[in-house]
């Protein structure tokens, strides 16, 4: 039950990253607004999601992870209803900001709650299922958005969250145990510094594709964000109750898992952003047709991720994650070699299949590797840091690969698009290859692993059981 609750909740939060993309033309027809306004219906969610991820984990450590998880879920559900009812583009953007706040609380806490709910011997398989369900949202967004918008209404890409959220909230209260982190104080200065720092970095990256890397609108936020992140590091080194202890980064495994997650998101989101445009703008597919053809990629994790999770239990998560990244690099390289404006779907299919296997094999052990890279008392903030790394990697990948694309090609013709897309694919493949090398260092030394081979030290994190039938 814990796997189902946390997986579905993470799926909803992840889906709303991309589900709105396909609906943008329809939303513009009904609500009006400029192209910039439409972009902010996507970016408003991404920004608040990325900026507040670590704060969401810190709130769970302080006030109770189950309590804050349910709070975030209800906030996300209410904001979804507000987005569906939005009378104008401004109100929709505001609702998307609040949706992102709810998602930022949900995502890191869902992983921590699942880790503590499942026995160590079954954790790999459970996290594999979790990754299959939540990972499906990455590329499933365009498919769901296309089908719902084309055959029902764009409002229902948001309404769909409401009944699911209202069912999951009481189920989470009944089925998940409560837990807290070791610190009973919030690190307010650290929270402000890292939140504003990530805000500056992500905002600058989002603006770069439109304004250019050298513009003040991009350089200003990027420099300010970098300065605030440095200030955050210095504050955390001196704080008596840091939100993210800097000593965690001296841990080779923790640093490797976060760097690998960032690089993977960099490559994959950048390629997904371009491949969906290639299918619709160059090969003239409808949103639904493009989404259906991407099922070779998006549906693969459902089959492969549970197997990858069980393999992680048997041989360790590191080789499975590295294999997944190699498959992704191979898939992108294959596309770069065979892609042409009139390439048939059969010609492209091996790239989709390799990508699907790669995503499944990477995400299945990623959560286990993240949790085992730190002490049990630090798993909440480790989850938040890893989620924040992926959310930072996504806009960075879209921006860099789009820049490579525009520098080498464009939208003038099918061949022009391919001329830009091919070097972008090679950049994505290189990012996956580098991530594979980085992930070779993602396992803690044997002495440290013994500490995590058994059940997490639940007393160290003040775990409380779920309410029994007698007490409810």
Min mean pLDDT across 19-33, 34-48, 119-133, 221-235 is at 119-133
C-alpha–C-alpha distance, residues 144 and 149, integer Å: 8
Instruction: Give me the mean pLDDT over the 201-227 stretch.
Output: 83
Question: What does the pLDDT read at residue 181?
Answer: 67
User: What are the tens digits of pLDDT across the range 134-182?
Assistant: 666 665 666 677 677 777 787 888 888 899 889 988 988 888 878 776 6
Instruction: Give me the mean pLDDT over the 116-135 stretch.
Output: 67
C-alpha–C-alpha distance, residues 184 and 192, integer Å: 18
In terms of pLDDT, which residue wins out, 147 or 406? 406
Question: What does the pLDDT read at residue 134?
Answer: 65
In terms of pLDDT, which residue wins out, 263 or 128? 263
Given a contact cutoff of 8 angstroms between Cβ atoms, the answer to whether 157 and 291 are in contact is no
Angle between helices 317-338 and 252-277 (to 10 degrees): 30
Question: What does the pLDDT read at residue 226?
Answer: 92
Question: What does the pLDDT read at residue 465?
Answer: 44
Model confidence band, residue 454 (pLDDT cutoffs 50, 70, 90): very low
Model confidence band, residue 212 (pLDDT cutoffs 50, 70, 90): confident
DSSP 8-state class, residue 178 = B
User: What are the tens digits of pLDDT across the range 298-312?
Assistant: 777 777 877 887 787
Residue 234 has pLDDT above 80, yes or no: yes
In terms of pLDDT, which residue wins out, 437 or 21? 437
Instruction: Give me the mean pLDDT over the 67-88 stretch.
Output: 92
Q: Which of 244, 247, 254 has the alpha carbon at shortest distance from 366? A: 254
Q: Is 391 exposed, middle or buried (0-12, 13-18, 19+ CB in 10 A)?
A: buried
Given a contact cutoff of 8 angstroms between Cβ atoms, the answer to whether 46 and 93 are in contact is no
- 325 to each of 99, 127, 264, 443, how far by Cα in Å? 31, 18, 8, 16
Residue 262 has pLDDT above 50, yes or no: yes
Residue 211 has pLDDT above 70, yes or no: yes
Question: What does the pLDDT read at residue 470?
Answer: 38
Given a contact cutoff of 8 angstroms between Cβ atoms, the answer to whether 133 and 11 are in contact is yes
Question: What does the pLDDT read at residue 34?
Answer: 64
Model confidence band, residue 456 (pLDDT cutoffs 50, 70, 90): very low
Q: Which residues are within 8 A (CB) of 384 and not within 5 positions of it... i.e. 6 or more apart?
A: 53, 54, 55, 56, 57, 58, 108
C-alpha–C-alpha distance, residues 310 and 428, integer Å: 28
Question: What does the pLDDT read at residue 136?
Answer: 64
Q: What percent of the chain has pLDDT over 70?
A: 83
Residue 328 has pLDDT above 70, yes or no: yes
Residue 453 has pLDDT above 80, yes or no: no
Given a contact cutoff of 8 angstroms between Cβ atoms, the answer to whether 40 and 88 are in contact is no
Instruction: Give me the mean pLDDT over the 374-382 stretch.
Output: 72
Tell me what the pLDDT averaged over the chain comes to: 79
DSSP letter string, 240-254: SS-SS-GGGGGSHHH
Given a contact cutoff of 8 angstroms between Cβ atoms, the answer to whether 15 and 144 are in contact is yes
C-alpha–C-alpha distance, residues 382 and 363, integer Å: 16
Question: What does the pLDDT read at residue 468?
Answer: 44
Q: Which of 356, 294, 289 has the alpha carbon at shortest distance from 146? A: 289
Instruction: Give me the mean pLDDT over the 266-276 stretch.
Output: 84
Instruction: Give me the mean pLDDT over the 223-252 stretch.
Output: 85
Q: Which residues are within 8 A (CB) of 329 and not within 5 positions of it... i.e. 6 or more apart?
A: 358, 429, 430, 432, 433, 436
Question: What does the pLDDT read at residue 148?
Answer: 76
Question: What does the pLDDT read at residue 143?
Answer: 67
Instruction: Give me the mean pLDDT over the 337-363 stretch.
Output: 89
Instruction: Give me the mean pLDDT over the 435-453 stretch.
Output: 67
Given a contact cutoff of 8 angstroms between Cβ atoms, the answer to whether 196 and 228 are in contact is yes
Question: What does the pLDDT read at residue 450?
Answer: 41
Question: What does the pLDDT read at residue 138?
Answer: 61
Min mean pLDDT across 63-72, 301-310, 440-449 is at 440-449
Ramachandran region of residue 177, left (φ > 0), alpha (ψ -120 to 50) or beta?
beta
DSSP 8-state class, residue 443 = S
C-alpha–C-alpha distance, residues 175 and 235, integer Å: 38
Given a contact cutoff of 8 angstroms between Cβ atoms, the answer to whether 280 and 417 are in contact is no
Q: Which of 441, 408, 424, 423 has the alpha carbon at shortest distance from 260? A: 441
């Amino acid at each position: 039950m814990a796997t189902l609750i946390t997986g579905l909740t993470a799926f909803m939060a992840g889906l709303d990253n991309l589900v709105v993309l396909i609906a943008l033309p329809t939303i513009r027809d009904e609500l009006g607004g400029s192209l910039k306004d439409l972009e902010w219906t996507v970016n408003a969610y991404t920004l608040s999601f990325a900026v507040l991820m670590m704060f969401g984990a810190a709130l769970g450590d302080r006030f109770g992870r189950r309590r804050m998880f349910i709070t975030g879920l209800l906030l996300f559900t209410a904001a979804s209803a507000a987005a569906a009812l939005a009378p104008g583009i401004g109100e929709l953007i505001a609702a998307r900001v609040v949706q992102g706040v709810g998602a930022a609380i949900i995502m890191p806490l869902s992983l921590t709650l699942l880790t503590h709910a499942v026995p160590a011997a079954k954790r790999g398989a459970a996290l594999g299922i979790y990754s299959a369900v939540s990972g499906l949202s990455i590329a499933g967004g365009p498919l769901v958005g296309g089908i719902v918008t084309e055959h029902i209404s764009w409002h229902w890409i948001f309404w769909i969250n409401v009944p699911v959220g209202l069912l999951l909230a009481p189920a989470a209260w009944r089925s998940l145990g409560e837990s807290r982190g070791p610190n009973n104080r919030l690190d307010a200065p650290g929270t402000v510094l890292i939140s504003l720092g990530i805000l500056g970095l992500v905002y600058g990256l989002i603006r770069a594709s439109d304004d250019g890397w050298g513009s003040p609108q991009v350089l200003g936020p990027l420099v300010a964000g970098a300065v605030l992140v440095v200030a955050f590091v210095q504050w955390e080194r001196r704080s008596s109750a840091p939100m993210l202890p800097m000593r965690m980064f001296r841990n080779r495994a923790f640093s490797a898992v976060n760097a690998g997650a960032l690089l993977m998101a960099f490559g994959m989101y950048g390629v997904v952003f371009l491949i969906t445009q290639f299918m619709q703008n160059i090969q003239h597919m409808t949103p639904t047709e493009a989404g259906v053809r991407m099922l070779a990629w998006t549906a693969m994790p459902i089959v492969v991720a549970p197997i990858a999770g069980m393999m992680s239990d048997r041989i360790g998560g590191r080789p499975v994650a590295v294999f997944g990244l190699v498959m992704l690099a191979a898939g992108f390289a294959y596309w770069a070699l065979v892609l042409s404006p009139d390439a048939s779907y059969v010609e492209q299919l091996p790239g989709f299949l390799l990508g699907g296997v790669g995503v499944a094999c990477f995400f299945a052990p990623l959560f286990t590797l993240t949790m085992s890279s730190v002490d049990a008392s630090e798993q909440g903030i480790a989850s938040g840091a890893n989620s924040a790394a992926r959310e930072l990697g996504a806009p960075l990948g879209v921006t860099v690969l789009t820049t490579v694309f525009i520098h080498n090609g464009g939208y003038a013709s099918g061949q022009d698009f391919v001329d830009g897309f091919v070097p972008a694919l090679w950049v994505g493949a290189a990012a996956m290859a580098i991530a594979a090398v980085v992930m070779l260092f993602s396992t803690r030394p044997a002495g440290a692993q013994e500490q995590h081979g058994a059940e997490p030290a639940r007393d160290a994190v003040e775990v409380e059981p779920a309410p029994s039938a007698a007490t409810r």
